[in-house]
Structure 1
C-alpha cells in the first residue's frame, strides 16, 4: 500500500476503502476473496453490495465475455441495455420508463433534478442518517463524525441539515430540510410549514437496508407527500432487487413517484437508473415543455454493465433466490441474536432480506439519533476480531449472497461469538 501513496490521494481509491486496515485483493470467487499474500477471506462486503450472486458468477462472467466480443461501449443505443430496461420496468412497480446513469450517486442527483423540474420547486426533504451518495445535495446529515456535539441532547431535531464534507456550499444545505426517520409526526410538521418550497422527499425505504420502517410509516409518508403535491423518491440503490425483485416498494406495497436504482442492476459494473410513471417521465422529457430536463452521460446504458446486470437479475429470479435469501437472512440474524443473548451483551441485530448488521446498544435503534447510542469501541473491537479470523465484516452493514454456504455462516457465527468474547475480556483486563 505504501506504493500507492504517491499516486492515490490518501493512498486509497475512495473514502470507503478497506477498514480497519488496507486489504489488497488479487482475485475472488463465490463468497470469498484472496489477497496478494494468498490469504483467503470470507466476504460480507461483496464490492459494497452489487454482488448478490457472489464474486465472479459463471453466468455473469459469460454474459460479460460475450458482450466484450462485440465491443466495450459505443455511445449509442444498444439492445442489451434496452432488455435490462424492459426487465426493470416489468419488475419494479413504480417504474414505467427510466433513464440510465453510471452510478447510484449520479442517479440520485438526477432524480432530484427530475423532481425539481416537474414541480417547479427547489427544496428537498430527507432523513437523518440516510446515505444518498456523495453529491452536494445528498451528503447532508448522514455521518456521525460530522454531527454537532449537541445533537445527542436535542429531543426533536432541527429541520436544517449539517454537512458531511468540506467543500459543500451553504447554498446546498439551505435547499434541504431534514427529519428523523420513522417519525411521521415530524414529517407532517415540516411539510405543513414548508410544503410550498419542497419539490420532493427522498428516502431509503429501509434505512441503510438495516432499519425497517415502523408499521404505517411508509404509507403515511406516501399520503402526506401526495396531499402536498410533493414527489416521493425511493432511493433503492441498496434495496432494489435485493429485499425483493421489485425492491422495498414491492415488499411494503408503497409506490413512490420516482425510484433510484444501482448496485445490483450493474452486476458488478458501474450502473444506475432513475425511473417513474409515464405521467412524470413524459412530462419532463417533452422537448416542447418548459419542464424539459437535459440528461446525458458518456456511459449511460453501458452495454457491458447492462449485460452483467441483466444476467444477475435473470439468475436471481429464475432460480427462486428471493424467498431463499429472505429465509437465509432471517435465520442468520436469529442466530446472531442468540449469541448476544447467551453472552449477555445488549444489542440489536438489524437488517432486512440478505442485509445484516449488529448495533451494540441498550436502546432500540430506529433512526439516526438512536443509533448514536451504539458502543463504538466494542463495535470496532469486534471488527478487528472478525478480520483477525479471516472474516470481512463491517461495523454497520453486511451482505449475504447466494454463494454463501451453511458452512460459511457457521464459521461466521463462531468467529462472531469468539470476537465478542475476546473484546469483552480485553475490557476486563
Structure 2
C-alpha cells in the first residue's frame, strides 16, 4: 500500500495541539518540519502532504476567530526545507487554481522537483472561502462550475509549460558556448478563456516530467476533474463501504475516458488514535475530544452548514431543519454530516465529530487494530493506500511509524525499502510523455529568449 503523511497544521484532531505530547508553538519552526519529514522517511512513507488555503475560515464572533486560527506558512517553502533534510520522501504541496497563475505554479513546482531530484507533487485545489476572494481583490468567491472550468484550463497550461523544454534542451557546452538547444525549447502560445500564456517556462523539464498531480474534490464535478487530471486522489469516507463505492465509481469514470486504473491512486484519509490497549485508545480519543472548546466545535459545524446560526439551539438537541440556502450547491462533506444528523446525533455530537475528525475516518485502537483496518480496506478494494493524519504532531506520526509500520511490513502489506528515488517511481506512476516531443508540428520558436 501507499502512504502519505498529512501534516495538517497541529495534527488531524483540532484539539490535538493542546495534548501534552504535541509540540508547542512549532508551526513556524524549521526544525519541527524537518523532523516530521525525517520521521515520515524513516517510516518509508511515499510523501508528506501539506494542505493550505490563502485566507481565514469565516466564523461567528471575534473571540472564536482569534481562538481557532493557526499559522500557515507557504507550503512550497516548507517543503523545500524538508527536501534538504530527506532523500527519498515525496513532497506534496497545495496551490490554488483560483488564486494563482499557471506560470507561477508551474515554475515553482518544477523548481521544487529539480531541487528535490524528482520528489514534487501538486495538490490542486479550487479554494472554498470568501476571505480568499477578498484577499485577491474579488468581491465574492467564484461559483463551483466556474472554479472547475478555470482549474481545467489552469492544469492544461501548466502541462504545456512543463513540456516546453524537451529532453536534451540543456547543453551546458563550454566548448561551443551554447547553454541550450533552442530547437528543443518551444513557446506554448496558449490563448484561452481564463489565461493567455506565451511560454516557454524558465525552468528545464523536471526530473519527473511533471510533478505528481493530486486532487481532493469529492463533488460530481470534482470527480470528473480528478478522472481527467489527477494521479492521486485524497478522499475522505466514514466507512469502508463508502470508500469502496467511491473507488469503483472513479474507476468507471477512468474507463470512460480511456485511462487505466493503475494511473490513479485513491487514498482515503485515516486518523489513527493508537493505544497500548483498545481501552487506552478510547480514553485518548475522549481526552482529545474534551480539548475542543464547545464554541469552536459548534462554529466549525455552523461554517460547514453555510454560516447558519446555532447559538439559540440546545447543543444536546437535534440539528434543526436547515434553510434552503444552506443546502444549495454541491458539498459532499456537508451531506455526510446531514446523514449523521438523520441517524440521531445531537448538535454537540455533530460539532465534535466535524471538529475532531476533520472529516477523515478515525481508527481507535491498538497498532494491530489500525493495521487490520488498513489491510482490510485495501483487500476489499476500498483504497490503494492512505493519507495518514495523526491526531497530534509529531508524536502521533512517531507512534504510527514505530508501531503500525512494522506490523504492515511483517504482513507483507508495506515496503521495507523505497522502490526508487522519485515520487513517481515509489507510487508506481509513469512519467508523462512530452506533448511537443510527440507532436513537433506544435513547436514554435519563442520570439524572445
What TM-score do the two structures reach when normalised by structure 2?
0.28
What TM-score do the two structures reach when normalised by structure 1?
0.29
Q: Using CA pairs under 8 Å that are at least 6 residues apart, name the structure with larger relative contact order, 1 or 2.
A: 2
The higher radius of gyration belongs to 2
